[in-house]
Amino acid sequence: MQEKREIDFHKYHALGNDYLVIDPNSINFELNSKNIRLLCHRNLGIGADGILYGPVFDGEKIKLRIFNPDGSEAEKSGNGLRIFAKFLVDAGYVLERNFKLDTLGGEVGVEVMNDQASLIEANMGKVTFKNTDIPALGEDREVILEPLEVDGQKVKVICLSIGNPHCVIPFEEISRELAYQLGPQVENHKMFPNRINMQLLKVINRKNIQIEIWERGAGYTLASGSSSSAAASAAYRLGLVDDKVKVHMPGGKIDIEITGSGEVYMTGAVTSVSNGRFLTDLRKELGMEGRS
């Protein structure tokens, strides 16, 4: 196990989607939106797409809190879950290959697929397309290819929750530029009272899809596990893909399997980047003077 007293943060990425792990068992850190925004800032802080805060132990449960770079709290993150699973192995908190993590979006089972814990599978749970579960405003219904006006045009959307909310928009061609154009408006659309994650979806064939991602509270993102799960589930619901799908993103590829019971399994890589200490000036800005 690492010497925790000497380390304030750990940095990992999953296909370019990077997170800081803050371990409350080793650092007296005040978790507030100001500090989260500062640490995630790529010019003023360490720089990250979010913060993973844990582990918090509650009996048998290992609890994880997930924060976006704007300081808001996320229910679930597929890449974040895989990163946190690798951290738990690296830090010696878990020795088993199979264990569970407790999040705001529900309990998630994870499996470590190799000795380096660089390949992780997560059971993301079951998808629901019900508007009340997402949530999306309007009468009770499933949101399947429903028209939505965005940026002066009507697009067809599939909305769902896999513990966190997603809006999938199929196009024949997708791009980073289109994600930047539509993402902020979809995320903050009046239809979604808690905001929403957006995926632009291109179906390549029955075994491969491509997505561009705009994450709630984070913006344009190179890769996302929950977005991969959501987009594959939407394409599967429309009958466009098989039950095993490779999701292609700017940051890399994730494998998705949808079982007969409706559970979604996500498998992807995780890379350790660095760990270190907050130095004097940053500690002052974080309000950590005199803390050990």
pLDDT digits (tens, 9 = 90+) for 136-177: 999 999 999 999 999 888 999 999 999 999 999 999 999 999
Measure the CA–CA gap between 215 and 197, rounded to whole angstroms: 5
> pLDDT 10s per residue in the chain (292 long)?
444 457 999 999 999 999 999 999 999 889 999 999 999 999 999 999 999 999 999 888 999 999 999 999 999 999 999 999 999 999 999 999 999 999 999 999 999 999 999 999 999 999 999 999 999 999 999 999 999 999 888 999 999 999 999 999 999 999 999 999 999 999 999 999 999 999 999 999 999 999 999 999 999 999 999 999 999 999 999 999 999 999 999 999 999 999 999 899 999 999 999 999 999 999 999 998 765 5
Contact 82, 268 (CB under 8 A): yes
Length of the chain in residues, anyone? 292
- The structure's pTM equals 0.92
Q: Which two tokens stand for residue 18?
A: 């990077």
Nearest to 64 by CA among 49, 82, 48: 82
Domain ranges within the chain, ordered by starting residue:
4-118+271-285, 127-262
- CATH class name, domain 127-262: alpha beta
Do 127-262 and 4-118+271-285 fall under one CATH topology? yes
CA R_g for the chain: 19
Query: Regarding the domain delimited by 4-118+271-285, which CATH topology (the fold level of the hierarchy) does it fall under?
Result: Diaminopimelate Epimerase; Chain A, domain 1 (3.10.310)
Burial class (CB in 10 A: 0-12, 13-18, 19+), 108: buried
Say if strands 252-258 and 153-161 run parallel, antiparallel, or are unpaired: unpaired
What are the C-alpha distances in Å from 251 to residues 17, 126, 137, 259? 8, 25, 33, 26
